[in-house]
Chain A
Amino acid sequence: MSKFARDTYTIDGVKTVVYSAGSGEPVVFFHGAGTIDGFDFAEPWTEKYRVIVPYHPGFGESGDDTSFTDLHDYVMHYLELFDTLRLDRFNLVGLSLGGYLAAKFASEHGHRVKKLALIAPAGMIDAMHPMLDLLAVPGEQVPGLLVSDFEVLKKRLPEKPDIDFMADRYREATTVARLLWERPGDPKFMRYLHRIKMPTLIVWGDEDKVIPVEQTETWRKFIPNADIKVFKGAGHLVHLEKREAVDAVARFLG
């Protein structure tokens, strides 16, 4: 995160850490349900854009708010953060759970989102191609499921069992459980996806073991104008495995 400056805000009582770098049109990135992948992949975007990467409440360096029990609480949190940052209209990129959140935000507040890029987004209820329920997977098996080439992720993991690392993951899983334990999918999410009218890009790895790449077709049904790009030989964290995926997002943003 060398290029990124760290700022801390208090949003409705919750400590919110935001990293940002670069100048130009703003691009906000919503991270996924874990934060081990880091944000350095986004550095190429900073050449042309002001890249803003907040930690969601309950993840990474931001504080907890145990009253967040619904993804909509995060939509409300970001409305307040964006007001604080004076971000009126911006490009929005979301990965996995962050993709779910980005799509939800865009379906509710479309006038604020100039362009939307979703990287292997969660949230779609697709009975034929269901998302893997990561909450049911033993923690030690999760990293191997996130990528096609494990070497990409290995350097971000502790070499031997590490209680603090484990506790950080447990905390993030707890945050996810509050949102999704009883109802991993919300049919109302799809009900309003048609409201997404801004230019939209959907990026996927064809070896995604968490959310099957076949879900791209389901997304297409809900957002017919979306541009879909699938990268060969990449898993769920396609942005870490394929620099081309990061560049594709940059090209889409223009």
Chain B
Amino acid sequence: MSGALRFNSMHFMPYIYLPENHKDYKSLWVSFPNKYFDPEKGHELYNRYLSELVMADRLGFDAIVVNEHHNTVYSMMATPNLIAAALVPQTKNARICVWGTPPNFMLPNRLAEEYAILDVMSKGRLEIALPLGTGMEYWSNPVNPATAREKFRESLKIMLQAWTEDGPTTHYGQFYTYRFLNPWPRPYQKPHPPCYVVGTGSPETIEIAAELGFGYASVFVTQQRARELNETLRQRAAHYGHTLRPDQLPLLTFVYVAETQERAEQEYIVHLQRFFEDYARTSPQFLAPPGYLSTDQLKMRAAMADKMHGGFDFQAISKSFFIAVGTPDKVANQIGEWSQWMKTSHINCVTHVADMPHWKTVKNLTLFAEEVMPRLRTRVQPALRAAAE
């Protein structure tokens, strides 16, 4: 692996027609009434969003990314494999990343089968992330958050066994019994599609990724924390005898590109603000169902939440998180610096947020692909090269 950067375009596919009284609801997750979903509008949105993901492929993004959430306006992708299946025949080159279905919410053999089907259909373009699932998903799915981590481990073991060992095999575990584990088809890529674990920094999750030699995608953590997590993961992976490649540690960044800095901010910030204040809005109860976190993690996060109160402040939030907004030069420079600082070659760009209209998404995708990517692709990445060697 050379130091060449790789660019993903990630979409959340939000439901953007929020009712006027939505601020009355503390959470737009879990319990936000689904009477507010209008299927006519949903139909338009699915088609629009699919076209934006297909466009990313045509424009030369290396990968397109979908993911899974339940009971929320934040994402209309309750079953992302359906979305991925719709994308396979419409795209040519981009890798298709399902990042991903929490294995705890599906029978592991069935999830292994669905991923294998997508991988075979796309001739090996599939990449997979294996999340534990947010706390919110455990209120929406009938799965015990207190035993989620044990179940997650067992599910991964079954999926890997299904992909890598000639069947039929057996599995007798705490949560599942398989007398004939023998799924057809098997994945196109050998031994299996590239896998990442997704997390917000729980030590338990990092340990799983390290042990299996999987990539790790940290989400919704600060820049500093993301860097620490990458470092921890490299060390823990090494402990298990794995050397992580720079492309195994994707950096999640929000991006918006326009002709000038002012114009970029003027066109973008309003949507970013709605993303944080509305689409991501949920309650402490839903974030941490009983047993989802250790009490130590709960205390840490509660202390952090106390510090972060206050309104949306673009300048402050841009300093804490990876958010690249501005001219092609500015965005390219920021991403270039971050990739070196994080020692990663994998840039996962959120190219659409909240109620950003189609024209802005098209503009953002186009400018990023035509102006930002070429600037970065020609650049020498000494730190990465060193890391790779």
Contact = CB atoms under 8 A, between A and B. Distances in A.
Interface of A: 69, 135-136, 138-139, 163-164, 166-168, 170-171, 173-174, 176-178, 181-182
Interface of B: 139, 142-147, 283-285, 288-291, 293, 295, 298-299, 302-303
A138 B298 contact: no
A176 B147 CA distance: 12
Contact of B145 (A164, A166, A168, A181): A181
A135 B302 contact: no
A138 B293 CA distance: 16
Contacts of A164: 299
B147 A69 contact: yes
A177 B289 contact: yes
Given A135-B290, A138-B285, A177-B289, A170 B147 contact: no
Interface-centre pick from A135, A139, A170 (highest chain B CB count, 10 A): A170
23 contacts: A69-B147, A138-B284, A138-B285, A139-B284, A139-B285, A163-B302, A164-B299, A166-B302, A167-B298, A167-B302, A168-B295, A171-B295, A173-B290, A177-B144, A177-B145, A177-B291, A178-B144, A178-B146, A178-B291, A181-B145, A181-B146, A181-B290, A182-B144
Contact of B303 (A136, A138, A163, A177): A163
B290 A177 contact: yes
Interface-centre pick from B139, B143, B145 (highest chain A CB count, 10 A): B145
A179 B59 CA distance: 52
A176 B290 contact: yes
Contacts of B285: 138-139
A163 B145 contact: no
Contacts of A135: 290
B154 to A, nearest CB: 14
Contacts of B143: 182
Nearest to B303: A163
Nearest to A170: B298
B283 A174 contact: no
A234 to B, nearest CB: 27
A92 to B, nearest CB: 27
A233 to B, nearest CB: 30
Contacts of B295: 167-168, 170-171, 174
A136 B298 CA distance: 18
A127 B144 CA distance: 23
Nearest to B145: A177
Nearest to A180: B144
B298 A181 contact: no
A174 B146 contact: yes
B142 A170 contact: no
Contact of B288 (A69, A136, A170, A182): A170
A177 B302 contact: no
Contacts of A176: 290
Nearest to B143: A182
Contacts of A173: 290-291
